[in-house]
Each structure stands twice: as C-alpha cells, then as structure tokens.
C-alpha cells in the first residue's frame, strides 16, 4: 500500500469532521465520490439502482480524481451511487477488485472452452479414464456425461469459477504470467484457451462434495462472524467464495469477499468483487439487529439490478472454501461410489446417489414408489424423499438455473416432465447419472401443456419413456460390463402418436433390450454403440433399425467383436420371451 501525502490526509480529516457534525445522530457518514475502474478494466454499465460502486482502494487514488473520472465517463451509461465511507475495517483480506480481479466480466454461452478430459483428470484423477493411451484419457461413460452436464450448466455463467480463480491468483497459487499477462487485471479472456479451462475447472468446485461439506452456513450473523474470523488469517489461510441466492432459491451468484467494514448501529458491509461488474468494489449489507443481509445487483450486467435479501430463516448466504477443490476428489459416479448395491449390468458397487439433471425450461417432479416428491410443485421446490437433496449451481448469469436432484440409488424414480407453464415449444433433456452408469432421454420437443413420464429403475436396469405426443427423442445409456465400458445412443427414436419405449439390460445374456410393446405405431431409430476397453475405443453405427410395435428388440452388444463387424439382432415379435426373427446389422459408421 502506498503512503498518502500528509497534507492530503489532513484535508480528508478536516472534511470528515466537518460533515460528521451535520450527520443525523452522528452514526451515518456521507458518500464519497465514485471511482472508475482501473485503466485496464473493461467498462461495464451499472444500473442506477445499484447501491455500491468503486471505493478508494487505499493505493493513493490511482483511479484518478472524481473530476477526472467525470470528464472521461461515458455519457450513455447511468452514474452509480457512491459507497458510504468506511467507518473501520472489522477484517480485511487485502484483496482489491481493480488490482486483483479480472478486467472482463462474467460470461456464458459463448464459444469459450470449458471442461475437457484433461480438466476432468485434474478434478478426479485417472480413475475416470476407461483407458489412457499416449497420455490421452478416454472417459468412462458416466464421467463423459457428467462433464457434458457441467459444461451445459456453465452456459448460464462462470461467476463461481471467476470468483475462485481470482482468489488463487491473489494467493499466488496461480501465476498470471502463465496465462499471458504480468497481472490478473491485464489478462484477456478472448483467445486465452488456458485461462478459459482454468475458470471452468474452478467453476466445478461448487459441485464437489468435499467443497460443500466445508461450507460456512447459517444465519446472516453466524456466517458474518465466521468470515471475519477467517479474514484474520490473511491470504495465506483458507480463503472463501461467497455465494448467495434469492429468497426462493433462484438466481445463484458467486462473488469474492475481501473486507468487512463496521458501519455502526449494527450494520456491517461485506465488500466483494462481483465479476459481473469488473474493477468495482461492491457491498453486501449485514444488519446484526435484524439478522439479515441485502445486496443490490444483477445476475446479468446488461439488465436492471434487483435487491437480493436473506434472513435467519432463508439462510441463503454462505462461504465455500477454495483449497479442497485443489486436491483430487472422490468420484461419486464411478464404480464403488457409495456402500452396497449394483450398477447397470449388475456389477457390484457401493450404493451411492443418482443425480438427475434437467436441461430445458420444463418443470420436473420426481416421485418415489410411496408418492414422496422431489422437484417443482406450483413453482416451488419440495423435498419429501428421505435421503434426497438438491443443489442449484451458481452461475450469476442465468437466473432460472434448474437444480440438480440427488436421490439414493435404492429409490425408483418416477419422473414427470411438465410443460404446462411453457408458452412455446422447448427442447428438453433429462439425464440420470449414478455410480457406474448414466442414462436419459434427450431431445424431447415439449409443447405447452405436454406432460411426459420417465421411469428409472437402476436396480432393475430399466429406463422407460411415455408420451402421448409424437416424438423423436434420443435415448442414452452408458454402463460397464466385465471390465469393458459401453455407450449406447438410440438416435431419432420415432414415436408416432405416442406410446412407451423401455430400455433395459439383460445381465445374464449381455443383451440390450428395446421394448416397443406399448408403441401405437411402428417406428425406427439409429443405433450408435461405443465399446471402450483398456486399450481401444471402437464405435458401431447402424441406421434405420426397425422398431416394431408390440415387439422387443434384442441387441447382443457383449458379443460384438469390433473392427467393423456386424451386431446380432433378435426380435421377439409378440413379447412372449421367444425370439422369432434374427439378423445381423452391418456397421455403417
């Protein structure tokens, strides 16, 4: 920190004393003039409602005087109110947004790189590799699907990754020169593939059990006390990402906390670097008397801000530790991710959790066999299933991020995909990832008012999809059998006039069964099958496989030899368990 000239300090003291005399009750202080972000920070429009902007960073006013800033300000952008002057720091980490934050704002849904196989091994180690040839990891099917789900969620914004990465740069655990600039605030996102991957890696920290288990949670007063204590250890101790939601659990956003200021009368300001507003110091107000917090901000920098609030009942503000995510994490979707049970294909594993992902604007509701519910009911999330939970990722850009639902493997999932609140058609995906397997229905073109059903019985190796509409969804299924991994995709499965299709695996014969006995009309699909052993990865593709109504198709995947060889198909024409027709499907891939 640079020292200020003595005369400058005397002038500030004089002004402060003069204004304090006229303050109401002597407990409030007047606002200071806002400062512009550092020269290398990108200009970002700040809505007029925002109640926090840049403040003096204690570095000799390097942002320029108020008059200089006013002269260079963009007349098209609304001016933001100033942050009240500091009444005294209760704790200070030393971080400053213009010095230690990124100059670009939070982003999502563009062409930027996200997770790849190398990033996944950073997170989980080589256990997620079905094989590793010439240093390149081929992911096991559930790991590949999990990576896709994480990358899809990041389209809603990268706020958590940016908040964590900025702290790692500040601690010296990341070096800006390794990413193309001498300081973090000079780093560029565009064309910086390495930085994009780092931010994606840091984003997934919020999805890791060992991070969530270390979160500081509680009432506003409780979390404030704990972060003040944590700040006293400085940047060499544990540092935390601050996360919060609206009172209804939506609009998850993550920021970087760095100072707690005592404003008097039980009011404390938690100063944060909000990556939606680069270069600016912003404040979350904690009221100890009311045990509340409030923050004026926007999940998207291009839209008007709104007030986030929380109290001792909602407990919607928390702090997540950074260091646990830097160690290799246990793989909950790998074989052996929990205590007893099996996976698809009847391989013995420890019982863990099924994670259910919805991609699309539909409402999702899960019921167990006893009618207990988890999901959205009348726009609100309910959870009645024992052992189940849900989590909304913090993106800071997409305010209506759908939760990830976690349910014990022993529970059968009866899933309703409800389009009653849709105004237009919307493509919807539902995916389930469990210990050693993944399965789902993707590409459902859900119309307003359309309600479809998906049943998942992982202990019986079954997924069923029922619709009253004409649909051509894709079915996905990934599993391990006798040390070999398989991925199946039934693309463009034609369902005319509605009906049901079941997919299951016969553990004894090693057949994939496609049951069409509830279809109203004949259909067809394209089969894509990938086989991954410890050395090779081979793919089989066959187009226009007939799906006969009232019949069951057997695909003998376990006997497939690879090398463009055909796959045996058997058809039980009436569903009585006897195969009446047989043929070999040629590899057209």
Kindly state whether residues 282 and 416 are assigned to the same domain: no
Kindly state whether residues 426 and 296 are assigned to the same domain: no
- Name the domain count of the chain: 3
Residue 1 inside a domain? The answer is yes
Q: Which structure tokens are listed for 513?
A: 């069964």
Kindly state whether residues 327 and 443 are assigned to the same domain: no
Residue 39 inside a domain? The answer is no
Burial of 300 (C-beta count, 10 Å sphere; 0-12/13-18/19+): middle
Instruction: Say which range, 182-186, 298-302, 464-468, 511-515, has the weakest mean pLDDT.
Output: 298-302
Kindly state whether residues 193 and 327 are assigned to the same domain: yes
Q: Give the sign of the dihedral formed by CA 170, CA 331, CA 412, CA 469.
A: positive
Q: Which structure tokens are listed for 123?
A: 């997170």
Q: How far apart are the first and last CA of the chain?
A: 64
Q: Which residue has the tokens 């006039």?
A: 497
Kindly state whether residues 188 and 283 are assigned to the same domain: yes
Kindly state whether residues 132 and 226 are assigned to the same domain: yes
Q: What does the pLDDT look like over 45-80, one tens digit per residue?
A: 333 333 333 333 333 333 333 333 333 334 333 333
Instruction: Give the residues across from 559 on adjacent strands.
Output: none
Average pLDDT over residues 269-279: 96
Closest C-alpha to 272, from 396, 108, 393, 187 = 396
Residue 216 inside a domain? The answer is yes
Kindly state whether residues 168 and 251 are assigned to the same domain: yes
Range of the domain at 491: 411-585
pTM of the model: 0.83
Kindly state whether residues 327 and 419 are assigned to the same domain: no
Q: What does the pLDDT look like over 337-370, one tens digit per residue?
A: 543 333 443 333 345 899 999 999 999 999 999 9
Residue 194 inside a domain? The answer is yes
Residue 42 inside a domain? The answer is no
Kindly state whether residues 182 and 283 are assigned to the same domain: yes
Q: Name the DSSP class of 464.
A: E
Q: What does the pLDDT look like over 135-192, one tens digit per residue?
A: 999 999 999 999 999 999 999 999 999 999 999 999 999 999 999 999 999 999 999 9
Kindly state whether residues 114 and 241 are assigned to the same domain: yes
């Amino acid at each position: 920190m640079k020292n200020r000239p003595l005369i400058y300090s005397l002038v500030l003291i004089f002004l402060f004393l003069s204004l304090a005399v006229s303050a109401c009750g002597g407990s409030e202080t007047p606002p200071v003039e806002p400062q512009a972000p550092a020269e290398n920070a990108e200009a970002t429009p700040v809505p007029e409602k925002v109640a926090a902007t840049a403040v003096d960073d204690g570095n000799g006013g390097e942002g320029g005087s108020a008059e200089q800033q006013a002269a260079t300000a963009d007349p098209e952008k609304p001016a933001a109110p100033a942050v009240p002057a500091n009444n005294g720091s209760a704790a200070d980490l030393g971080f400053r947004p213009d010095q230690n934050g990124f100059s670009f704002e939070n982003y999502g849904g563009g062409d930027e790189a996200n997770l790849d196989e190398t990033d996944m091994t950073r997170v989980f180690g080589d256990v997620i590799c079905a094989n590793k040839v010439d240093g390149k990891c081929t992911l096991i099917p559930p790991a590949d699907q999990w990576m896709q789900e994480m990358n899809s969620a990041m389209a809603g914004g990268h706020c958590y990754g940016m908040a964590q990465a900025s702290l790692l740069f500040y601690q010296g655990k990341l070096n800006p020169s390794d990413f193309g600039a001498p300081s973090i605030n000079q780093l560029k996102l565009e064309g910086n593939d390495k930085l994009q991957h780092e931010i994606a890696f840091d984003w997934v920290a919020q999805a890791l059990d060992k991070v969530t288990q270390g979160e500081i949670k509680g009432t506003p007063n409780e979390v404030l006390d704990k972060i003040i204590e944590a700040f006293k250890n400085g940047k060499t101790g544990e540092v935390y990402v601050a996360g919060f939601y609206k009172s209804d659990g939506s609009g998850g956003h993550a920021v970087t906390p760095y100072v707690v200021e005592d404003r008097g009368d039980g009011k404390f300001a938690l100063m944060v670097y909000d990556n939606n507003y680069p270069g600016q110091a912003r404040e979350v107000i904690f009221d100890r008397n009311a045990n509340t917090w409030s923050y004026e901000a926007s999940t998207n920098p291009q839209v008007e801000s709104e007030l986030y609030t929380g109290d001792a009942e909602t407990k919607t503000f928390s702090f997540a530790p950074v260091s646990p995510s830097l160690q290799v994490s246990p793989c909950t979707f790998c074989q052996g991710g929990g205590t007893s049970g099996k996976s698809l294909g009847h391989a013995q594993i420890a019982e863990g959790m099924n994670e259910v992902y919805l991609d699309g604007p539909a409402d999702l509701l899960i019921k167990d066999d006893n009618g207990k519910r988890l999901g959205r009911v009348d726009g609100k999330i309910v959870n009645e299933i024992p052992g189940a939970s849900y989590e909304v990722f913090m993106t800071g850009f997409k305010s209506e991020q759908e939760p990830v639902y976690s349910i014990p493997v022993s529970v059968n999932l009866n899933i309703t995909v409800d389009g009653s609140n849709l105004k237009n058609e919307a493509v919807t995906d539902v995916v389930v990832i469990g210990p050693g397997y993944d399965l789902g229905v993707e590409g459902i073109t859900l119309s307003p008012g359309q309600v479809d059903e998906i049943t998942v019985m992982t202990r019986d190796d079954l997924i069923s999809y029922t619709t009253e509409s004409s649909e051509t969804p894709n079915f996905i299924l990934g599993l391990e059998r006798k040390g070999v991994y398989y991925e199946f995709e039934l693309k463009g499965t034609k369902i005319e006039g509605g009906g049901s299709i079941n997919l299951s695996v016969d553990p004894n014969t090693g057949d994939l069964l496609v049951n069409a006995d509830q279809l109203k009309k004949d259909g067809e699909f394209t089969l894509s099958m990938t086989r991954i052993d410890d050395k090779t990865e081979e793919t089989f593709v066959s187009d226009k496989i007939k799906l006969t109504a009232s019949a069951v198709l057997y695909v003998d995947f376990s006997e497939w030899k690879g090398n463009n060889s055909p796959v045996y198909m058997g058809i039980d024409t009436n569903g009585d368990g006897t195969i009446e027709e047989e043929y070999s499907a040629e590899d057209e891939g």
